[in-house]
Structures are given as structure tokens and as C-alpha cells.
Structure 1
Amino acid sequence: MSYRARVKFCGITRAEDARIAADLGVDAIGLVFVPRSPRCVSTRTAAEICSALPPLIQIVGLFMDADAATVQATLDAVPLDLLQFHGTETPEFCDSFRRSHVKALAMGDGVDVEYAAKRYARARGVLLDAHRSGEQGGTGMRFDWSEIPPRLAPRIILAGGLGPDNVAQAIRQVRPYAVDVSSGIETAPGIKCPRRMQLFMNEVDRASRDQGRD
């Protein structure tokens, strides 16, 4: 069976970057709704970005310990397909919206991925990111991929320090369902580099072809 890791470009802040991502064949884009993030977008900007996308590109909204009213107001204003929660949200909170969701885990000391995957059993996937206290991703940090239980790979969205230089290695080692990149394809926070986006997609395709031959 052929294998291709899905790709999400996160922290999109400009419609032109979203269009380039779509042209390159990205599967999803991520819009950040965390006020302290340098990649945070307003609902108006987010809606403009969404309107620039062709059909069948999944639009993911990223939140971190937002209250239910804030999440719902964003859903009312922006056509999000998937919610991504990066804080201390409970499974009940994540399940309370009429959208599929992903739960992110910061891979610090003592994180039990198996336990978290069971606790958030209704999540469509578990996103694993490097740990930096109080941040929701896009740190450019990497964690030890050997900490990922192989049997969970089909549910794993791998993030944290990925870029064109190491994404192929990550795919070969982990075989995740998807890879998620933000700072690794940027020239500045929220400003994507077309060349790095292209290189990233090239490396994903190359690694996926290699895996398909195994």
C-alpha cells in the first residue's frame, strides 16, 4: 500500500501564502487564534485567507486555553474544518463543539503519549510538539522522536522543529499520519517563504516514495 504523510502548513497569516501552499499540494493550513502569538490572526483576516483557498484544503483553527465563547465566536466567523487545542483543555471541552478536533501535546519530561491518546480518544489525531512553557507551537524546537510509540503513528501529527532539512528523516523514522510545519518554512514569524515551502513538499514526497518502496 502506498504511503504519503499528509502536510499542514501552520501559522498562515497572509492569503498569498495560503494560495502558494494550495498550489504546492498542501493538505491543510493552520490559522492561529492565540492572542499572544506573533502568528495570531483576526477573524476578519482568517476569513479572507479562507476565501482565497480552493476546495478540499482543510482549514484548522488553533486555540490555547480559550473559553468556549471565544472558540464558538471564531467558528461563527471563520469556516474552520478542524479545531486544534494546545492548552490544558479537557476531553469534554474539546468534544463540546460541532467540529472534529486534534489535541496537541507538548513533549516535555514525563509526558505519557499512550495515556494522552487514550484520554483524548475522540480526537481525530494527537499532535506532538516540542515543549516550551506557555507557547502553542512554532518554536522551532525539536523533541526526541524515539519517544513516540510506533503503534500510535497512524494517529500522530508530528510537529516541532521540522523543516526541509529534516522532514524526510522524520517521516522515515516515525511514519506519522501527518507532519506540521510553521517556523521551518518562514523568513519571519507568520511570513512564509515560497522556496522553503516548495523544498518542504519536495522532501515529504521523496520520503513518502522511499517508504512506499520498503
Structure 2
Amino acid sequence: MKVKICGIKTVEAASHAVENGADAIGFVFAESKRQIAVLQAQQIIAHVPAHVWKVGVFVNEDAATIQQIAETAGLTHIQLHGDEDPDDYRSVGLPLIKAVSVKSPEDLEKIDDIKADFILLDSPPVEYRGGNGLSFEWDLANALKKSNTNVILAGGLDSVNVSKAIAKVSPLMVDVSSGVETNGEKDLVKIKGFINSAKKLGEEMQNEFNYL
């Protein structure tokens, strides 16, 4: 089970996440309480190993700006968290993650028409597009278990509920932000706990599959 820690703003938090097994680090360039400057992200990414995804999160930003930020900061993946059409961002030249707000089965029916490398399932937006600490009804995503293997699950996850979420959705990756924070700041203990919980269940599910 792959894990993405999003909303990173310090070298300490990024390094701690990687040391404990994080597969991806997310940097929010859209308006948010976790928004980061390009050069600040660049400094953090310089400390992140090559094999770890460096994901830039954008909301309705134009492709040229995203490409410039990606090249300056050193991003490896682009997450489109607004109303974008991924086809308009292929010129950036990096794998695209398209976020989908899940409120009903109809939202999931649209996924097959989205031409993105990965689909990120998230709860509906409140103040910001993502990172609101709210989950959606995971049972809605049951139909995706066999039809789409490139699903990233986000929305209200924490070390307590992530095992249940993984069991219901079977995603490729789980994505957390507010669930590993205390008073709005990344909590190193919570980061470790979340990664451990997700990885443990992932290993158990894989062992069960191998046994069958």
C-alpha cells in the first residue's frame, strides 16, 4: 500500500515521512492554509530521495504556470484538484492525478471518461478543494475495485480509519493531510502512525491474496 503525505511545508516533516515509508510527498500551490511558495518547495524537494513522488497540487491553474513551477521546484507528478480537463495539461509532460469529489454514484460513473494517469477520490469541497478533514461514503467506491487500479484515496483519513478505508476501496495509494496534523501543523507522531497503519494492512491484504 502506497502512502502520500500532503500539505508538507518543512524539511523536517518531509524527511520524517520518507524515513517512515512515505511513497509520495504533496505540495499545495493552490490557495490553502497549507499553500507553499515555489522556492520553499524546491528547498524541501532537494532533501527528498529520487524514488519518492513529489506531487504539486493545483486548482484551476493554467498549464504554462504549472510547467514553470514544476521545473523550478522539481515536481514529478501534477495533481489537478479543480475543474480541469487533464487533456489540457499533457504539455506539462508529467503524470497527471485528477481529483474527483465523491457525493454520489454518479460522480464515480464519470471516472472512465477522465484521461488521467491516476484518479484521486476525495470528499466534496468546503472552504478549500481538499484537505478539509472530511471523508465520503467509501462504500460508493466498491465498484472501482476491479475497474480502476490507479485510484488514490483521500478525504478525512487518519491512523484510526485508514484500515477500514483501504479494506473497502482497495486503492493503489492513500493520501492524508489534516489527519496527520495537530493544531494545523504536521505532527511527526501522527505521520508515523498513519504510514504504519496503512502499510500494515496493505501487507496483510497482499499476504491474503498470495495465499488464495
**TM, length-normalised to structure 2:** 0.91
Would the aligned equivalents of 1:153 and 1:174 in 2 still touch at CA under 8 Å?
no
Would the aligned equivalents of 1:60 and 1:82 in 2 still touch at CA under 8 Å?
yes
Instruction: Name the aligned partner's letter for residue 206 of structure 1.
Output: K
Give a deviation string over 1:50-72, Cα, whole Å, max 9, x none: 01212311100000001223212
Matched, 1:115 2:113: no
Would the aligned equivalents of 1:153 and 1:175 in 2 still touch at CA under 8 Å?
no
Structure of higher RCO (CA pairs closer than 8 Å, 6+ residues apart)? 1
Q: Given the alignment, which residue of 157, 179, 203 partners 2:174?
A: 179
Report how far residue 119 of structure 1 moved: 1.9
Q: Given the alignment, which residue of 11, 19, 24 partners 2:15?
A: 19
Partner Cα separation in structure 1 for residue 110 and residue 129 of structure 2: 21
Instruction: Name the aligned partner's letter for residue 62 of structure 2.
Output: D
Give a deviation string over 1:97-152, Cα, whole Å, max 9, x none: 11111100111246432322x2223x121000000246221100000011112223
SS of residue in 2 equivalent to 1:171: helix
Matched, 1:137 2:130: yes
Would the aligned equivalents of 1:132 and 1:139 in 2 still touch at CA under 8 Å?
yes
Would the aligned equivalents of 2:100 and 2:107 in 1 still touch at CA under 8 Å?
no
1:65-214 pair list within 5 angstroms: 65-109=60-104, 111-116=106-111, 118-121=112-115, 123-133=116-126, 135-148=128-141, 149=143, 150-189=145-184, 191-214=185-208
Would the aligned equivalents of 2:38 and 2:73 in 1 still touch at CA under 8 Å?
yes
Structure 2 stretches of 5 or more lacking a match? none
Residue 8 of structure 1 corresponds to 4
Partner Cα separation in structure 2 for residue 174 and residue 110 of structure 1: 14
**TM, length-normalised to structure 1:** 0.90
Structure 1 stretches of 5 or more lacking a match? none
Give a deviation string over 1:170-213, Cα, whole Å, max 9, x none: 11121111000000001133x21111011111111221132123
Quick one: percent identity of the two aligned structures? 34
RMSD: 1.5
Number of aligned residues: 206
Partner Cα separation in structure 2 for residue 151 and residue 94 of structure 1: 27
1:79 to 1:109, Cα distance in 2 relative to 1, 3 A: same
SS of residue in 1 equivalent to 2:139: helix
Partner Cα separation in structure 2 for residue 178 and residue 82 of structure 1: 14
1:133 to 1:184, Cα distance in 2 relative to 1, 3 A: closer
Partner Cα separation in structure 1 for residue 16 and residue 48 of structure 2: 9
Would the aligned equivalents of 1:104 and 1:126 in 2 still touch at CA under 8 Å?
yes
